[in-house]
Amino acid sequence: MAQPLLLWLLGGVLLLVAGFVTALLPRRRAGTQARGVAWSTARAAIDSAAVSRDAAPTEVPEAQRLLTRAEHLAAAGGGPDAARTATGYAHRADQLWQAAHRADRVGRAGQVGRAEQAGRAEQAGRAEQAGRAEQAGTAYPGREGAA
């Protein structure tokens, strides 16, 4: 009589273990995949920030500090939350370096714009002077054949 009861108990335990394994295995696999994706995203963001740092015309201490923090988090590893934090630091550092690059480009464009304006003003002044010289009937020194 004890033998059939033992078989039923063993079967029940086996069924319970199979249910747990069936439920936990996909969750574990999904967690591992989410962790891998998060760290892949973090490494890509860190690499992108490093490229922006190399292209930046000036030093940006805050961005360098953020990138260093992201790199330390990546070196230490951890779960998806740590990866997301590292990604955030790297994205912010990238934004700061890109802003520095844009500011430098706008500054240089302003210098070029001022030089172009000065050149146009000089040309306009010459044209006005030439027009007055022609009206007066005198030759303009920069033009040949003017009477």
| Rounded-to-integer distance, Cα 45 and Cα 20, Å | 37
Q: In degrees rounded to 5, what are phi and psi of residue 142?
A: -90, -10
Amino acid at 115: A
Q: Which residue has the higher pLDDT, 27 or 132?
A: 27
Model pTM score: 0.60
Query: Is 79 within 8 Å of 42 (Cβ atoms)?
Result: no
pLDDT per residue over 54-74, tens digit each?
998 889 999 999 999 999 999
Confidence of residue 104 (pLDDT cuts 50, 70, 90): confident
Q: Which residue has the higher pLDDT, 135 or 51?
A: 51
Share of the chain above pLDDT 70, in %: 73
| Rounded-to-integer distance, Cα 80 and Cα 85, Å | 9
Query: Domains of the chain: which residue ranges?
Result: 41-126
pLDDT per residue over 115-142, tens digit each?
556 666 666 766 677 666 666 665 545 5
Q: What is the mean pLDDT of residues 101-120?
A: 67
Per-residue pLDDT at 1: 55
| Rounded-to-integer distance, Cα 133 and Cα 143, Å | 11
